[in-house]
């Protein structure tokens, strides 16, 4: 939406500029054919006409420019943790334990929620898991029919997801992105009582204004320096050997995160290594993939609750073999009754359930009947 508006703005400015130039050139042609007195009069008339046209063009261009920034309403900057973005000083701000809210009467609402994440450093593998877990957790708190499919996008150059949540009287568009040790989720009301919310006009502008600390102006000089060093070193990459560089990168990944064989190959390819170099690195990194599966399982259990079968399925999704996934679930030390209780409590933090509804949700998460009933009881629904 914003790109289209900017394109229209450029077209308006160019049109007014061409119109003003056309009047000036036409008048200039007449000046050469008339007497000095007539020329002076024509010149004065031209200057007045040009000034009027310029003022008119400036006013209309300014109006168009304001329209491109949601009518100029985004006049303030909000900052929290590592994120900043434009917001309107006219909107009513609110804050509670769940995040920050902005409300405009008859126009809708937006919110920002910030949650800590357990990873010391994010990579594409853990980021994908985190975003998909966010979506799964969000859609699991209510009727899944009320959510659209998750789609990948970008916010300030960071991988992100977007999906819609339909409620009885509202439609909320939700974005989530992670940076350093936090996940940031935005919610925008795009429909209120069946009518398009005025706030939906500002979504593109707000998201395009998002900056994380790494993308701030203070870091531009450092990033330029790093880019220059990288370009200088690239000439030596062929002599250094892509395989050895891929191996060094693989070893650095394994120091802070767990990977399956396929997951590590995929991560290295994502970083720009060829398939042959990525496979060489995975073959020669010395990783025990059974041990990696166990480490991955324990990492998951640090920030989310899983059933036995749910954890196996998640590990298989990450590329571990069924045998390694089963062994990891068998040896991760999880108390599945306790996991069911944690899962039940997580659901109740975000939505309301009857006892039977919550039991059904835990069964859907592949807890046993006994575990599901225990989890619901432990969460206080008896």
How do the domains of the chain map onto residue ranges? Answer: 2-68, 76-217, 240-285, 336-378
Can you give the pLDDT at residue 28? 35
CATH domain 76-217 topology: Protein Transport Mog1p; Chain A (3.40.1000)
Q: Which residues of 61-77 are buried (b: 16+ CB within 10 A; e: fewer)?
A: beebeebbbbeebbeee
pLDDT of 124-183, one tens digit each?
666 777 788 788 777 765 444 578 889 999 999 889 999 988 876 778 899 999 888 788
Residue (of 315, 247, 306) closest to 277 by Cα position: 247
Q: How far apart are CA 306 and CA 346, in angstroms?
A: 11
Can you give the pLDDT at residue 275? 93
Residue ranges of the chain whose pLDDT lies below 70: 1-71, 96-98, 105-107, 118-122, 124-126, 140-145, 168, 192-194, 197, 214-241
Query: Is 139 within 8 Å of 110 (Cβ atoms)?
Result: no
Helix axes 308-317, 322-331, angle to 10 degrees: 140
Please report where in the chains the tokens 């209309």 appear, as a residue: 60
The CA R_g of the chain, rounded to the nearest whole Å, is 29
Can you give the pLDDT at residue 165? 84
> Per CATH, is 240-285 categorized as 1.10.10?
yes
Q: How far apart are CA 14 and CA 292, in angstroms?
A: 60
pLDDT of 99-133, one tens digit each?
888 877 666 788 899 887 755 456 766 677 778 87
- The model carries a pTM of 0.43
Q: How far apart are CA 17 and CA 19, in angstroms?
A: 5
Can you give the pLDDT at residue 36? 35
DSSP conformational letter for 91? S
Can you give the pLDDT at residue 232? 46
Residue (of 90, 125, 95) closest to 106 by Cα position: 90
Residue (of 301, 309, 314, 329) closest to 371 by Cα position: 309
Can you give the pLDDT at residue 190? 76
């Amino acid at each position: 939406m914003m790109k289209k508006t900017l394109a229209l703005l450029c077209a308006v400015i160019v049109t007014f500029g061409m119109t003003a130039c056309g009047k000036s050139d036409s008048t200039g042609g007449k000046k050469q054919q008339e007497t000095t007195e007539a020329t002076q009069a024509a010149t004065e008339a031209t200057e007045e006409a040009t000034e009027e046209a310029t003022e008119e063009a400036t006013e209309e261009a300014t109006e168009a420019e304001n329209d491109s920034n949601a009518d100029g309403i985004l006049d303030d900057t909000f900052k929290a943790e590592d994120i900043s973005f434009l917001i309107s000083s006219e909107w009513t701000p609110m804050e509670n334990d769940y995040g920050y809210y902005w409300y405009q009467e008859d126009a809708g609402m937006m919110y920002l929620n910030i949650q800590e994440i357990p990873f010391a450093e994010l990579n594409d593998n853990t980021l994908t898991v985190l975003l998909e877990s966010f979506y799964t957790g969000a859609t699991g708190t209510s009727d899944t029919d009320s959510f659209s499919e998750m789609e990948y996008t970008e916010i300030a150059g960071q991988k992100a997801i977007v999906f819609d949540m339909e409620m009885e009287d509202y439609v909320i568009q939700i974005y989530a992105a992670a940076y350093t040790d936090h996940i940031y989720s935005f919610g925008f009301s795009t429909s209120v009582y069946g009518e398009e919310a005025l706030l939906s006009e500002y979504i593109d502008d707000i998201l395009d204004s998002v900056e994380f600390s790494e993308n701030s102006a203070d870091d531009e000089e450092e990033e330029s320096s790093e880019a220059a060093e990288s370009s200088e070193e690239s000439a030596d990459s062929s002599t250094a050997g892509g395989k050895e560089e891929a191996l060094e990168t693989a070893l650095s990944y394994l120091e802070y995160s767990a990977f399956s064989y396929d997951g590590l190959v995929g991560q290295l390819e994502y970083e720009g290594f060829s398939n042959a170099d990525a496979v060489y690195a995975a073959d020669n990194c010395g990783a025990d993939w059974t041990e990696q599966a166990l480490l991955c399982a324990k990492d998951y259990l640090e920030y989310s609750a899983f059933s036995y079968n749910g954890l196996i399925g998640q590990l298989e999704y990450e590329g571990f073999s069924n045998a390694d996934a089963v062994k990891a679930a068998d040896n991760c030390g999880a108390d599945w009754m306790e996991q069911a209780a944690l899962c039940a409590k997580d659901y109740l933090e975000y939505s309301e359930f009857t006892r039977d509804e919550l039991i059904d949700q835990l069964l859907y998460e592949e807890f046993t009947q006994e575990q599901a009933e225990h989890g619901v009881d432990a969460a206080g629904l008896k």
